[in-house]
Each structure stands twice: as C-alpha cells, then as structure tokens.
Amino acid sequence: MKRYEWTTASEGETILFSEKLAEYLTPGDVLTLEGDLGAGKTTFTKGLAKGLGVTRTVNSPTFTIIKEYMGRIPLYHMDVYRLEDSDEDLGFEEFFEGDGVTVVEWSQFIKEYLPDERLDITIEYLSETERKIKLQPHSTHFEEICKEIKK
C-alpha cells in the first residue's frame, strides 16, 4: 500500500494533525510509532488523546510500559522502549484486540506481537521545529483514513 507523508512546522501542528487523525479511529485500531528519541512520538500521542476526547494529561509511560486513558474510545498508550532485547509478552494482544485504540511507541521492539492490520507511523527529525510524519497503512480501513486526511 501507498505511503503518505506530511511535514509539520511546530509541536502544535503535529498535535493538530494527530488530533484530526483520531477523529477517524475506531475501537480495536492499532497504531505504531517509530522515530528517534525526541522525534515527537509522545507529542503525537497527546494529539491523538485529545482527538479521542481524553481529558487527562498524557505523558511518557516509559516506566509503566502501558497506560490507559478514558475517552470517546479508550486509549492504550504503550512505550515498549524498555523491552529492547527481551521477548517479554505483557499480554499485548488483550489490548490490540480490545475496545480501545492502541498506540505503541518503539514498536520495533515488539514486532512479533503486532497485529497485521495496523497503521505504522514514522516521525523524522528535520530541524528543531520541523518533523516529517510518514503513515504506512496496512489495511483498507487505514488506507481510507490516510486518503481522507490527505484531502
């Protein structure tokens, strides 16, 4: 499937972008986030949360691995950075198959557990304030969403 790209010029633009994306998400959707430290994965998740109607503040779940937020649809926010070099299965499937939207930061570390149908997101650092956001859909549902927000 085709890859879709955007450039954002500020943290606020990234949040607006992911907030808009969130409007199209449905229960059971799985999104992965790859990008270097400071690329904007957690920032992107903050916008998603906002778009899902989460009112609590979203911050990096590095020390808890999985955090759950209540919204229009629940948001499961994972940061699996600490699972590098371990094959530990923390029951990911229950989240992936659950009624919420799951977002996984550093998803490359739990590749073997990820579902086939997902939206892969890569954030690239361009400059202090600019980021390239790449969306790679892996299902028709996510392809439709990409087309819709590209309009």
The answer to whether 102 contacts ligand ADP (rule: CB under 6 A) is no
On whether the CB atoms of residues 45 and 77 are closer than 8 A, the answer is yes
The answer to whether 108 contacts ligand ADP (rule: CB under 6 A) is no
- Listed ranges 38-46, 68-76, 96-104, 109-117: which one lies at the site for ligand ADP (CB under 6 A): 38-46
Minimum CB separation of residue 9 from ligand ADP in Å reads: 6
CA 20 to chain centre: 13
Q: 8 contacts which partner out of ligand ADP, Mg ion, none, CB within 5 to 8 A by kind? A: ligand ADP
Q: Which residues contact 63 (CB under 8 A, 6 or more apart)?
A: none
Question: Among 14, 35, 18, which Cα is nearest to 130's?
Answer: 14
The answer to whether 131 contacts Mg ion (rule: CB under 5 A) is no
The answer to whether 131 contacts ligand ADP (rule: CB under 6 A) is yes
Sign of the four-CA dihedral 18, 77, 132, 114: negative
The answer to whether 42 contacts Mg ion (rule: CB under 5 A) is yes
